[in-house]
Amino acid sequence: MAIYFFTIVIQYIITILMAIIIFLILIRYLKNLLSPVKTIRAKVIDKKAFMIRTVNIPYHVSRNLNRTKFSITFETEGGKTIELLCNNILYDGIFKGEEGYLTYQGEWLKDFRKNESFEGWAENEFI
């Protein structure tokens, strides 16, 4: 009887933890989604790619569930550093030391245009 009780308690704890994790992921996503899109001058100072490993799954599942996340760190004209998440296509096309115009939204890298002329906003709009 005690084992059955602990099994139920563990199932409830796991369910609650999963709900909290999903809630936190949703909050982070909405925070990024609702952030304004900004374009600033910046320089690439670092790039990172890191593997996110999943739990072991039964051998009969034949797909790879490991994921690679990519981030690039930029330095703005004011000396502020910003680390942004991006996809592999943007990651592969941007190199350390490059300068250009960075477009981002929250923690998401939207675009990086290298050494192009850009008009349309004043000096005081830099972060």
pLDDT digits (tens, 9 = 90+) for 12-38: 999 999 999 999 999 999 999 999 999
CA 125, 85, 37, 121 torsion-angle sign: positive
Q: Does the reported pTM lie above 0.85?
A: no
Q: 95 with 44: CB under 8 angstroms? A: yes
pLDDT tens track for 72-93: 999 998 889 999 999 999 999 9
Q: Indicate the DSSP class of residue 36.
A: P
φ/ψ of residue 21, rounded to 5: -60, -45
pLDDT tier at 4, thresholds 50, 70, 90: confident
Res. 118: pLDDT tops 90 = no
20, with CB counted inside 10 A (0-12, 13-18, 19+), is exposed
What single-letter amino acid sits at 61?
V
Q: Cα separation of 9 and 90, whole Å?
A: 45
- Top CATH class, 37-125: mainly beta
| In the chain, where the domains are located | 1-34, 37-125
